[in-house]
Amino acid sequence: MAVKVMIPTPLRAYADKQETAEVDATTVAEALSALTGRFGDLRKHLYGENGKLRSFVNVYLNDEDIRYLEKESTHVNDGDVISIVPSIAGGSSASTGRESAR
């Protein structure tokens, strides 16, 4: 099955600056494996040392969180979109805290 993986901005640095990747897979696990096979540096950002998806990275199949489907065993269909959604922290930003601390 051809599925599209959406790579979020913070992780594009580890994926050859690509916004999306087309992979061939029958499950979410296979799709992510194909992705990290292509972009090796992504692996440590997606998976912890225990081999599990990191707790600050969520994966969605279309608009559903795979934690509430069959996790990584969730089957994918042709044309499905997998989104990797890491937590991001930006909000206000650069402040004098930095300068004055020096």
Partner 1 sequence: MAANAKTVSEPVAQGNPSVSLSNEEILRYSRHLIIPEVGMEGQLKLKAAKVLLVGAGGLGAPSSLYLAAAGVGRLGIVDFDKIDHTNLQRQVLFSSADVGTPKIEAAAERLHSLNPDIQIDRHETTLSSENALEIFRDYDIVVDGTDNFATRYLVNDACVLLGKPNVYGSIFRFEGQASIFGAPDGPCYRCLYPEPPPPGLVPSCAEGGVLGVLPGIVGCIQAMETLKLILGLGSPLIGRLLLFDALGMKFRELKLKKNPECPLCGENRTITHLIDYAEFCGIRGEEAPAPQTTVPEITPRELKARLDRGDDLYILDVREPHEFQICNIGGHLIPLGDLSRRVNELDSSREIVAHCRSGKRSAEAVEFLKKAGFRKLWNLKGGVLAWSDEVDPSMPKY
70 binds partner 1 (CB under 8 A): no
Nearer to partner 1, 20 or 33 (CB): 20
Looking only at the bridges linking them, the beta strands covering 57-61 and 64-65 are antiparallel
Exposed, middle or buried by CB within 10 Å (0-12, 13-18, 19+), for 61?
A: buried
Q: How far is the CB of 58 from partner 1 (least distance, A)?
A: 6
Nearer to partner 1, 24 or 99 (CB): 99
86, 87, 93, 99: CA torsion to nearest 10 = -90
| Chain residues 24-53 in contact with partner 1, contact rule CB under 8 A | 44-45
Residues in a beta bridge with 21: 5
Q: How far is the CB of 44 from partner 1 (least distance, A)?
A: 8
90 binds partner 1 (CB under 8 A): yes
Tokens linked to 100 = 């004055």
Q: Which residues bind partner 1 (CB under 8 A)?
A: 8-10, 13, 44-45, 54-56, 58, 60, 63-65, 67-68, 83, 85-100, 102
